[in-house]
Structure 1
Amino acid sequence: MSTASPEIGRTLRAAGRQTNVHDQGSGAPVTLIHGSGPGVSAWANWRLVMPALAERRRVVAPDMAGFGFTERFDGESYDMQGWVGHALGVLDALGIEQTDLVGNSFGGAIALALAIQHPERVRRLVLMGSVGVPFEITPALDAVWGYAPSIEAMRRLLDLFAYDRGLVNDELARLRYEASVRPGFQESFGAMFPAPRQRWVDAMTSAEADIRALPNQTLVIHGREDQVIPLANSLTLATWIPRAQLHVFGQCGHWTQIEHAARFARLVGDFLAEAADDEPQPLS
């Protein structure tokens, strides 16, 4: 693969597959797990905030199995345990024993499950527009997961993602459409969330008791005008996780890290930099 594209980072073998990973900066690690839009990659999701976070931290952002420029296998199926295992494989391949973890939407569900199943590997959690708790699938999420490639369909999805329609133009729709039809991209995405899609929301849910037992300092973030994932999800997470705080961005859709990139990076960077109570504490 050509290194000319900014979407290509370094390639490493993680959980048995060649994995495209962005690895920037130095210091304590923070791992960013992207969402599940068509044609998505770690770079597409995090490009605006990685440089700012990398000023203080080592930033690791992999293309998760089935997405981006990470290796795909013919006929494979995808599930939460596979994605959690892949995320752990990335950490193992990089020699990272413990990381802060930032999950966007679908990536939030992976981050939540990883923190529950492997608590020793996760210090602090950031969950942004997150899946992982029970909710009725929104028409917007159903449309995202049911995407059939065309520039017009991509433009409609971008309108659902963004509150600020100034961010959505024909050029962006063309670029994201072209990303979605790269060889292998739509084949894996189209097979990932077939209808009826409520079952995939349910399959990404962690048990309430497990979420309530999380010891991690957690920052929950949501866009007030998010049409894809309900704001109620983040209210639930902030209620269930004992050491959680909640930040809601007004005039913001599902693209918090894009629509409010500088504020998002400062908020997350400051939260992760706090010195007190760094280690997860067992609940009494």
Structure 2
Amino acid sequence: MTNPEIGKRIVAGHIDTNYHEAGSGPPLVLIHGSGPGVTAFANWSQIIPPLAEHFHVYAPDMVGFGYTETPDSLTDFTLDVWVGQIIDFLDAIGVDKASFIGNSFGGALSVATAARHPERVDRFVLMGAAGLEFHITAGLEAVWGYQPSLENMRKLIETFAYNSALVTDAIVESRHNASISPGAFEVYSRLFPEPRQASISRLATREDQIGAIQHRALIVHGREDEIIPVDVAYRYLALLKRSELHVFGECGHWTQIEKRSRFLDVVIPFLRD
């Protein structure tokens, strides 16, 4: 049986990267979050088809996640590594400049890419984004400190969604199975080591650097997000000169799933305008 989470492969720098590609038009790169068992496909599969009607969509698995290979030589996971992979990925697919949608951890990477390599970024969407300093939430502590079990995965996913009806047995089992695939947990446990507050700092871009970003930015956040507090979104709004903010009520960390239709109504015009 074909695994839908495995897409195309390309070597980005020295990282053999698994990615998904769809559509045509202006390039749009989707950067996933940091939960256990996450892949680009799991994060974005529900919105890739409608986005692909307007954009040439690329969704890579970042190193340390999914089906991208982790080089034996990589012993420390940092913003330098992940931003470097993004730039190498753009080079490998032959894209000079792209827009980005970054989810949570992926939002931190999108901001860092815009700050460090402004010429490679058109505009970007931050969705429940990290990338600023904040006091770690119990939800994020549980995400990064995850220990594999079906029960733990169910509890974790229930913190992602405001609407618990979205947490099906199939989703729990799929994410759990991915989190225990050969070598997956061994790598995951190295990504955000204790003290995990320090991992938030390691993903953060300095506020003065964020304030210097000239790109247009759309900030999207769930009001009831238990992983990244909505206050972070308001801080981004204050820092990013050319930004706008959309907050969804009755919504947790899964904006693109819980509010899929409205999310697309907001994001597509922003990226096309």
TM-score (norm 2): 0.97
- Structure-2 separation of matches of 1:175 and 1:192: 21
Q: CA offsets, 1:21-42, max 9 Å, x none? A: 1111011101000000001000
Aligned residues: 272
The match for 2:214 is 215
The match for 2:136 is 137
Identity %: 47
Asked if structure 2 preserves the Cα contact closer than 8 Å seen for 1:72 and 1:184, the reply is no
- Farther off after superposition, 58-67 or 173-182: 173-182
Asked if structure 2 preserves the Cα contact closer than 8 Å seen for 1:23 and 1:61, the reply is yes
| 1:76 CA drift (Å) | 2.5
Asked if structure 2 preserves the Cα contact closer than 8 Å seen for 1:34 and 1:42, the reply is yes
The match for 1:52 is 50
- Structure-1 separation of matches of 2:202 and 2:75: 17
- Structure-2 separation of matches of 1:169 and 1:70: 26
Structure 2 counterpart of 1:50, one-letter code: I
Structure 1 counterpart of 2:31, one-letter code: I
- Structure-2 separation of matches of 1:194 and 1:216: 32
- Structure-2 separation of matches of 1:186 and 1:73: 15
Correspondences of 1:146-225 after superposition (within 5 Å): 146-225=145-224
Secondary structure at 1:220's aligned position in 2?
strand
- Structure-2 separation of matches of 1:242 and 1:171: 42
2:20 aligns with one of 8, 22, 34? 22
Provide structure 2 residue ranges, at least 5 long, that are not aligned to the other structure.
Answer: none
Correspondences of 1:78-93 after superposition (within 5 Å): 78-93=77-92
Asked if structure 2 preserves the Cα contact closer than 8 Å seen for 1:163 and 1:225, the reply is yes
Provide structure 1 residue ranges, at least 5 long, that are not aligned to the other structure.
Answer: 275-284
| 1:171 CA drift (Å) | 2.8
Secondary structure at 2:176's aligned position in 1?
helix
Are positions 1:37 and 2:35 aligned together? yes
Q: CA offsets, 1:163-205, max 9 Å, x none? A: 0000013332112101111112111111111211000001111
The match for 2:98 is 99
- Structure-2 separation of matches of 1:245 and 1:262: 19
- Structure-1 separation of matches of 2:80 and 2:37: 22
Structure 2 counterpart of 1:22, one-letter code: H
RMSD, aligned α-carbons: 1.0
Secondary structure at 1:101's aligned position in 2?
strand
- Structure-2 separation of matches of 1:265 and 1:64: 23
| 1:265 CA drift (Å) | 2.0
